Chain A
Amino acid sequence: MSSTGPTTPNKPQVKALNCPGCGAALTVRSFGNAVTIVCESCHSILDAKDPNLQILQRFKVATDEVRPLIPLGTRGKMRGTDYEVIGFQRRTIEVDGLPYSWHEYVLFNPYKGFRYLTEYNGHWNDVSILKALPEVHPYGFAPTVRYLGESYRHFQTSKAATSFVLGEFPWQVRVGEAAVVSDYVSPPRVLSSEQAGNEVTWSMGEYITGKDIWKSFRLSGNPPDAVGVYENQPSPLSSETKNIWVAFAGFLLLLVVMMIGFDMIARDEQVFTGAYRYDSNQRGEASFVTDEFDLRGHTSSVEVKTTTDLNNRWIYLNYALINEDTGKAFDFGREVSYYHGYDSDGSWTEGGQNDSVAVPSVPAGRYYLRVEPEGDPGYGVTYYTITVKRDVPQYSFYGLALLALLIPAALLTWRSLSFEHLRWAESDHPPIKWGNDE
C-alpha cells in the first residue's frame, strides 16, 4: 500500500493485554472482532469492547475440566484458507436427564472471518454461517428444511447451554446461557438453527474426519476415535449401495439382452408329435414307446409338451426320453389336471389341460419316448397329444442369475439400512422398533 494521505490506516496488530482479574497475559487474536475474551488462568469472561476489559462473569471450573484438542492459537488450512483457533466452548444438552456435551472451536481469518469446528465423541463438523435463509416446513412426520434446493430432515431439537469457555468470541458469551438448537440432516451436511431470544442464526456443518482435522492443523498424535454413528455422518455403505444397484441394473439389462438374443437364435424345432388315447378303465399295461426321432445340433434343451382334453380329471404321465444308441434315459413325470366348477363365489378353475417341461442339456442323437400314463380307474378315456421340440429358449437360467445378483444387492441395502437405523435411533424421531420390545 502506498497511500499518500496522512490517514494510512494502522496495521491491526495482535494485542497483548493483561487480565484485570489475575494479571495473566491475554492475547487478542481476532483484532477488533472480539466481543468477549475468556482468561485461561482465572476463567474470567471479559468485555473485549471495553478498554479496561471489564469482568462480565467468572465461572467455576471442575478439576477434570476439558482442554481443547486443538490448542488456541493453532493455525490450519480449511478449504484452502488459513484459520486460527481463537475460541473454544463446551455446550451441554440434557436428554432423558443425562447430560451430553460437545465442543465448539472458533476459527478466524482476518479477511474471510469466522468459521467453526464442532466435535462430539470423535465426530467433527466444519461449520459456517448461512448466507441465504432456509425454508422451514414445520409440519408432517418429521419437519424438513430446504436450503439451496436440498432437503434436510429434522433430527433433534434441544436446549444447549454453554458450560465451559476459553479464548475469544465474536459474540457475547456467558457460561450458563442457553439457546434452542435444532439440527436438520442430509448427510454429510447438517443445518442448525440456534434461537436465542427472537433471533435465529442458521449454520451449515459438513462432516469431516478427525484424521483430516489432525492433518489440517498439523497436530501430533491421533484424533480420538469416532464412537457410534453421528447425525450427519455419511454412511460408508450408501454410495456402495447405490453402486451395487447400478451394477444390478446393468446386469439385468445384459440378461434381458441375452434372453432376447438366445430367444431369437434358438431353433425351437419341432421333432416329434403324436396323438394318443388312454382309457383308465382298461386293465393291463398302458405304457408304450413312441416312434424314434432325431435330436440334432449342439447339446441343448428338449421341450416335451402334453396337450389333453381333461375335464375335471387328472392324468399322470411317466416319461423317459431314451437315447437309442447309448440307452441313456432322461426320466421325468408330469401330472396334468384340470378342474373347474361353480360355487357361491362364482366360477373357478384349477390347473390346466396342457403341460410343458424342458429337459436341459440333451446331446444330439436318435431318441424315443417311453410313456406310461396313469389315471383313476373309472375316469374313462383321455385323448392327449405329445409334442417334442428341440432347442427351445430357456428361462429358468435367467431367474437363477437374477437371484444371484439380487442377493448381494439386497444384503448391502439391508446393512445400509441398519446404519441409518443407528443414526436415527439417536434422534427425536427414532425408527419403529422391530421384534420384541425390551
Chain B
Amino acid sequence: MTQPSGTCPNCGAKIVFRWSSSVQTVCEYCKSILVRTDVDLQKVGQVADLPPDSSPIQIGAEGTYNHKGFVAIGRIIYEYEQGTWNEWHVMLNDGTDGWLSDAQDEYAFSFAAPGRKLPEVAQCQVGQNYVWDNQRYTITTITTAHYRGVQGELPFQYWDKEDVTFVDLRSELGKFATIDYSDEKPALYLGEMVEFDSLGLKNLRAFEGWS
C-alpha cells in the first residue's frame, strides 16, 4: 500500500499519512497543523506546547479491538475541570477509523455514528434516556471542555476550537455514547467501555518506576 505523502509547507519535513482518509495532521518537527487539499498541504495553525499528560497510549501504540488490529495515529487533548483527557484517533486494519478515549486511564472505544436523531444541547439533562440502534442510553455527564491540543492525523479539521460541550451516555450493558456539540451539527459516537487488558496494547509509553 502506498501511503499518501507530502512535504511540510513550513519546514520542508516529509509528511506521511498512515491513513488515506486523514484530513489533518501535525508536522512532528515544527508542530504546524496541516490540512490536506487536492494538491498539497496547507498550514492552518500551530500547536502550542501539549500539556503534560500521562496517557499510557502514544502515537504508534498498537492493539486489538473486536478481532481487528488498530494503531493510534492521532489525538485530540481536551481539558476540563478535573484535568485532561485524550481522544486517540485509531486506524483499524479493515480501513476504518475509530476513537479510543482515555480519561484518567478509563478507556472507551467508539465509532462515528452519523444519521441518528440527536437532541439539542440545551435539552440534555443528566438522567435522560435516548435509544439508538435498539440500545437504551442514559445521560451520565455533561462536560464543558476546551480543546487543548492535537497531535498526528485526524479525520477532520480540528484546531482552534473554543469551549465544547460533550454529553456522555452509558447503557446497562456497558455501552458508551458521546455527543460532540463542537460543530453546528452535533456528532454522535457509539461504542463501549473497554478493559485495558482486553486491548492487548503494545508500543506503550514507559513510566519511571513502573514496568
Contact = CB atoms under 8 A, between A and B. Distances in A.
Interface of A: 1, 3, 5-7, 9-14, 30-33, 35, 49, 82, 109-114, 129, 131-135, 146, 170-172, 198-200
A131 B105 contact: no
A132 B174 contact: yes
Q: Chain B interface: which size bin?
A: 35 or more
B84 to A, nearest CB: 7
- Name the prevailing secondary structure of the A interface residues: loop
B193 A131 contact: yes
A172 B208 CA distance: 25
B209 A14 contact: yes
B82 interface: yes
- Name the prevailing secondary structure of the B interface residues: loop
A31 B207 CA distance: 9
Contacts, number: 98
A32 B210 CA distance: 15
B121 interface: no
A11 B53 contact: no
Given A7-B28, A110-B105, A12 B205 contact: yes
Interface of B: 28-29, 51-54, 56, 58-60, 81-84, 104-106, 126-127, 138, 140-141, 151, 170-175, 193, 195-197, 203-210
A172 B59 CA distance: 30
Contact of B173 (A6, A14, A132): A132
Pick the most buried of A30, A35, A113, A134: most chain B CB atoms within 10 A of its CB: A113
Contacts of A30: 54
Given A113-B106, A132-B193, A199-B140, 5 more contacts: A9-B58, A14-B208, A49-B83, A132-B172, A133-B140
Nearest to A29: B209
A354 B108 CA distance: 80
Contacts of B138: 133
Contacts of B56: 110-111
Contacts of B174: 131-132
B21 to A, nearest CB: 22
A109 B210 contact: yes
Nearest to A115: B105
A106 B155 CA distance: 37
B54 A35 contact: no
B208 A135 contact: no
B33 to A, nearest CB: 14
A305 B93 CA distance: 88
Contact of B81 (A33, A82, A172): A172
A417 B43 CA distance: 73
Pick the most buried of B29, B105, B126, B206: most chain A CB atoms within 10 A of its CB: B105
B196 A111 contact: yes
A3 B171 CA distance: 39
Nearest to A200: B140
A170 B83 contact: yes
A323 B131 CA distance: 88
Contacts of A131: 106, 174, 193, 195
A170 B80 CA distance: 13
